[in-house]
Structure 1
Amino acid sequence: MSRRAPAFYNLAWRWHFYAGLFVIPFLILLSLTGIIYLFKPQLDQLMYPELLQVPVAAQQISADQQLAAVQQAYPQALIKQYMPPVTEGRSAQFVVDNAGQALNLFVDPYRGTLLGSQDAQSNLQAIARQLHGELMIGTVGDRLIELAAGWGIVLVVSGLYLWWPRGSSGAGVLWPRLSARGRLLWRDLHAVTGFWGSLFLLFMLLTGMTWTGFWGAQFAGAWNHFPAAMWDDVPQSGKLTGSLNNSSQQTVAWAVETTPLPASDPHAAHNGHAANPASSAAPQVSLQQVVDSAAEQGVQPGYSITLPKGERGVYSVALFADDPRNDATLHIDQYSGAVLADVRWKDYGLVARAVETGVVLHEGKLFGLANQLFMLLVCLLILLSAVSGLLMWWMRRPQGRFGVPPLRHDLPRWKTAIVIMCLLGAAFPLVGASLLLIWALDWLLLSRLAGLRPLASD
């Protein structure tokens, strides 16, 4: 007798199981590190008040005087970035490379005194961000996070199918049966949190995917387009603006990552500044001039200034704002002070605006504390769903066996399963490749090993 086609319900159950075992550790890690980064403003104030807060005086000293104080304290350090005070009573910050170690240096902008330093890559927030983005192992970690996020989407789709109410009662799906005990209670908690949290989890996964190194880069390249005329007659460095970001710190917004990074012209005369006869380069504008230029261009407080790297580098003024409508990215010639490029919200396309809004919601920035608390609730729902799913499997797993869910052969609807999996695999190539690999492994090995007999179905 020929075998009947596998039921979609049971195929979904099996793929939900595979996706869950792979994704759950990542979801737990991403939720915990996300909560830490979510409350960065409050945690920073709590942990480093002596570095962030200063007594207000009558007048601030110039950015150049602050820079001189840092250079005096760290004469061999390479100054990489400057963050002016966000408000009165707040310190200014410099990021420097001191003999290969990245440091955050905090300066009193009223008195010019150095308040202290912080390892730029080993503080709590930097570690949380690196774990959240690439597991602190570079490109390999980025790809694993991307793969886990893609499989998380498979998890949500298959979970919704598995737990969608099929009867008149919503008990165990829309609300938990609190009178239940043991595995049934954990099953209800897993189903209910997964059902109500599925759209929020999809939102978190999709907005997070835009920052990944493979899918995110392809997505940005396809949708982030600006008029070429914006860079007409502007010297090009051959790099992209996204090169200013790194795993421990975000400098520029996602929408501008694929834009060209201009170059300064060290030879030509600009705006009345003649080249120095004794040097191949024109005089360099001061840091304070760049601060003044940012103010003249209407850039709101909270921005950073990345200092030029090399004789063709530019000053990059970047504001990745809590409200993306205030985003600003300016590149300024280091010799003339001319604004070579100026990209704002009005220049973003529809997709870029949607992504930027989604990202700041993801990070809990757009609506202040209310946004933070709501994202905290989402993270807790994800944690509860992940932990309950893991416990449910562990409690049901036969002693010494893997406990793969059964694959019955009734109600043949396998064509729909194939369509859904193909669509997800096409949308997320890393998921598609791993899907084929695990499908082959399941068919050739796991389902044929006597030691991995499936569990009895509910």
Structure 2
Amino acid sequence: MNELPSAAVVRRWPGHNAIWRWHFYASLFCIPFVLWLSLTGSIYLFRPQIEAWIDRPYAHVAVAGTSATAADQVQAAFRAVPGSTLAAYELPATPEQAVQMLVRTPGGDVRVYVHPQTLAVLHTVDEESRIMRLVFRLHGELLAGPIGSYMVELAASWTIVMILTGLALWWPRGGGLAGVVYPRLRAGGRRFWRDIHGVTGFWVSLAALFLLLSGLPWAQGWGGYLKVIRHVAEGAPARQDWSSAHGEHHMAMTPGTASPGIEVLDRVAATVRPLALARPVLIAPPVGTGDSWTAKSDAANRPLRTDLTIDGQTGRLLTRRDFAQRRLVDRVVGYGVAIHEGQAFGGLNQLLNLLTAIGLTLLSISGAILWWRRRPTGKLGAPPPRPAAPLVRGFAVVLVGLGVLLPLFGLSLAVVLVADRLVLTRAVVMRRSESRSGQGHRV
């Protein structure tokens, strides 16, 4: 007769087997997304440098002399793109560079580069076709619109589970620092890859969790969820400085639907220019007749941003709203987005984010290698379920909390729990069937 294990030997859930099971299935779904997001995110980190390199032919085009008026420069853009209206005029950072502006057409926004003196149109490009816009959409929505954004949000949510369960599996249970804080590089085979996987996960987990959480405001599902909650809490529609990936525009503002009184643009620009707002500085016409012009800093480091309204007829500054005057949630998200994009504290921010992306890539590759090496031939290699194990409150609270904060994850979690229960039930039935079959053949 088999002896029953003592209470001291029985592991309560989530023991190693149960956590490993959650970690395995989360990783199985997330790894392709983690690799993709790490690659595209690493490229997008260097957007300012890449865009400056792309625009270098238009950085020094002017010669000594007087520049044309801003209104004339806009009219030159209109002639180049017939039927267009002004969406945003960007104040040139230097007198030598070409003037950039966005004009609106039925087919989307077009960026126009105009020579500041001769009014020659140097270049036009559909805004959504620009390289970094494509990278942004590849990163945030897989070029699949709202559906892609939901997929990225779901992958980010399960990556959080993957990281938390990975930390629980890694958590040291005695012994030295080898294989915990630093890898044993001379170890061979599975131990080498296990150390690479575990140690890398330890060093990048905190930064990775921050990047995952700070990217959620862009997501189609969670971003809309946050906006609805803010509408209910604040009693009015929330004006956010970000939107879902599908609707995000890196020159985000509310442009005019027409181009009334373009001749006053120089008056507005004369008011904005001495304020020395963080670049780029964008000016947009009124939404309707009699409305004020708007100007804003669209700095990649969002805490540097400022919003202005200006009377076009007099050039008088009507309102100024700096980052510090925004609501707390907007400031928190603004700091998170700036760090997420690598723009909060210069090159060091870019380097740290790049190292995190490299670490996540190494984590995914090493995890895949470990799974491939130890999986049984012809099987998926998932850890066997233990249906009799009791639930530990702490882990349940974490999952329920994530399900409430991330509704899309909560829905997918319910599906996974149902599917897992069906698998458990089927496995138990098969074992009982095999057991009865074996007893029936005994002599």
Question: Taking structure 1 as the reference length, what is the TM-score of the superposition?
Answer: 0.80
- How many Å separate the matches in 2 of 1:357 and 1:56? 39
> For 2:306, which of 328, 347, 350 is the aligned residue?
328
Identify the residue that residue 9 of structure 1 maps to in structure 2. 16
Instruction: Letter of the 1:251 partner, please give it.
Output: M
RMSD over aligned Cα atoms = 3.7
- Structure 2 counterparts to residues 428-439 of structure 1, below 5 A: 428-439=406-417
- How many Å separate the matches in 2 of 1:128 and 1:144? 17
Identify the residue that residue 160 of structure 1 maps to in structure 2. 167
Identify the residue that residue 235 of structure 1 maps to in structure 2. none
- How many Å separate the matches in 2 of 1:8 and 1:320? 49
In structure 2, runs of 5+ residues without a counterpart are 432-443
- How many Å separate the matches in 2 of 1:111 and 1:5? 77
Answer yes or no: is 1:150 the counterpart of 2:128: no
Instruction: Letter of the 1:142 partner, please give it.
Output: S
Superposed CA offset, 1:151-172 (max 9, x none):
2211221111111111122222
| Contact 1:425–1:435 (CA under 8 A) maintained in structure 2 | yes
- How many Å separate the matches in 1 of 2:418 and 2:410? 12
- Cα drift, residue 225 of structure 1: 11
Instruction: Letter of the 1:175 partner, please give it.
Output: Y
- How many Å separate the matches in 2 of 1:219 and 1:227? 12
| Contact 1:105–1:117 (CA under 8 A) maintained in structure 2 | yes
> For 1:140, which of 147, 153, 169 is the aligned residue?
147
| Contact 1:332–1:339 (CA under 8 A) maintained in structure 2 | yes
| Contact 1:16–1:158 (CA under 8 A) maintained in structure 2 | yes
Superposed CA offset, 1:432-451 (max 9, x none):
1111110110110377369x
| Contact 1:60–1:110 (CA under 8 A) maintained in structure 2 | yes
| Sequence identity (%) | 35
Superposed CA offset, 1:336-388 (max 9, x none):
76666532123123443232122212111122222222221111111111222
Identify the residue that residue 38 of structure 1 maps to in structure 2. 45
Identify the residue that residue 56 of structure 2 maps to in structure 1. 49
- Structure 2 counterparts to residues 244-283 of structure 1, below 5 A: 247=247, 249-252=249-252
- How many Å separate the matches in 2 of 1:185 and 1:282? 67
> For 2:176, which of 139, 153, 169 is the aligned residue?
169
Identify the residue that residue 121 of structure 2 maps to in structure 1. 114
- How many Å separate the matches in 2 of 1:200 and 1:445? 35
Answer yes or no: is 1:64 the counterpart of 2:71: yes
Judged with a 3 Å threshold, the aligned counterparts in structure 2 of structure 1 residues 157 and 309 are, in CA distance, closer, same or farther, namely: same
Instruction: Letter of the 2:71 partner, please give it.
Output: D
Identify the residue that residue 347 of structure 2 maps to in structure 1. 369
Answer yes or no: is 1:75 the counterpart of 2:82: yes
Answer yes or no: is 1:319 the counterpart of 2:297: yes
Judged with a 3 Å threshold, the aligned counterparts in structure 2 of structure 1 residues 75 and 145 are, in CA distance, closer, same or farther, namely: same
| Contact 2:265–2:312 (CA under 8 A) maintained in structure 1 | no
| Contact 1:82–1:304 (CA under 8 A) maintained in structure 2 | yes
- How many Å separate the matches in 2 of 1:45 and 1:393? 43
Bigger Cα displacement from structure 2, 405-414 vs 15-24 = 405-414
- How many Å separate the matches in 2 of 1:155 and 1:378? 16
User: Could you say what secondary structure the match of 2:128 adopts?
Assistant: coil
- Cα drift, residue 300 of structure 1: 3.8
- How many Å separate the matches in 2 of 1:56 and 1:407? 74
Answer yes or no: is 1:390 the counterpart of 2:368: yes
- How many Å separate the matches in 1 of 2:118 and 2:230? 46
- Structure 2 counterparts to residues 226-245 of structure 1, below 5 A: 240=239
Identify the residue that residue 399 of structure 1 maps to in structure 2. 377
Bigger Cα displacement from structure 2, 286-295 vs 360-369 = 286-295
Instruction: Letter of the 2:370 partner, please give it.
Output: M
Answer yes or no: is 1:103 the counterpart of 2:110: yes
> For 1:415, which of 364, 381, 393 is the aligned residue?
393
Judged with a 3 Å threshold, the aligned counterparts in structure 2 of structure 1 residues 447 and 6 are, in CA distance, closer, same or farther, namely: farther
Bigger Cα displacement from structure 2, 282-291 vs 151-160 = 282-291
- How many Å separate the matches in 2 of 1:239 and 1:364? 26
Answer yes or no: is 1:426 the counterpart of 2:404: yes
Identify the residue that residue 132 of structure 2 maps to in structure 1. 125
- How many Å separate the matches in 2 of 1:395 and 1:202? 28
- Cα drift, residue 262 of structure 1: 11
Instruction: Letter of the 1:346 partner, please give it.
Output: A
Instruction: Letter of the 1:70 partner, please give it.
Output: A
Identify the residue that residue 201 of structure 2 maps to in structure 1. 194
User: Could you say what secondary structure the match of 2:342 adopts?
Assistant: coil
Instruction: Letter of the 1:422 partner, please give it.
Output: V
- How many Å separate the matches in 2 of 1:292 and 1:445? 69
Superposed CA offset, 1:76-122 (max 9, x none):
33332222212343322122345615422212224422221223212
Superposed CA offset, 1:384-425 (max 9, x none):
112222232233333332221233579856333222211221
- Cα drift, residue 282 of structure 1: 8.9
Instruction: Letter of the 2:381 partner, please give it.
Output: G
| Contact 1:105–1:118 (CA under 8 A) maintained in structure 2 | yes
| Contact 1:92–1:106 (CA under 8 A) maintained in structure 2 | yes
User: Could you say what secondary structure the match of 2:43 adopts?
Assistant: helix
Judged with a 3 Å threshold, the aligned counterparts in structure 2 of structure 1 residues 406 and 60 are, in CA distance, closer, same or farther, namely: farther
Judged with a 3 Å threshold, the aligned counterparts in structure 2 of structure 1 residues 87 and 390 are, in CA distance, closer, same or farther, namely: farther
| Contact 2:77–2:103 (CA under 8 A) maintained in structure 1 | no
- Cα drift, residue 303 of structure 1: 1.6
User: Could you say what secondary structure the match of 1:378 adopts?
Assistant: helix
Identify the residue that residue 326 of structure 2 maps to in structure 1. 348
| Contact 1:263–1:314 (CA under 8 A) maintained in structure 2 | no
Bigger Cα displacement from structure 2, 49-58 vs 23-32 = 49-58
| Contact 1:82–1:305 (CA under 8 A) maintained in structure 2 | yes
Judged with a 3 Å threshold, the aligned counterparts in structure 2 of structure 1 residues 22 and 220 are, in CA distance, closer, same or farther, namely: same
User: Could you say what secondary structure the match of 1:403 adopts?
Assistant: coil
| Contact 2:78–2:84 (CA under 8 A) maintained in structure 1 | yes
- How many Å separate the matches in 2 of 1:372 and 1:61? 38
- Cα drift, residue 283 of structure 1: 5.7
Instruction: Letter of the 1:289 partner, please give it.
Output: R
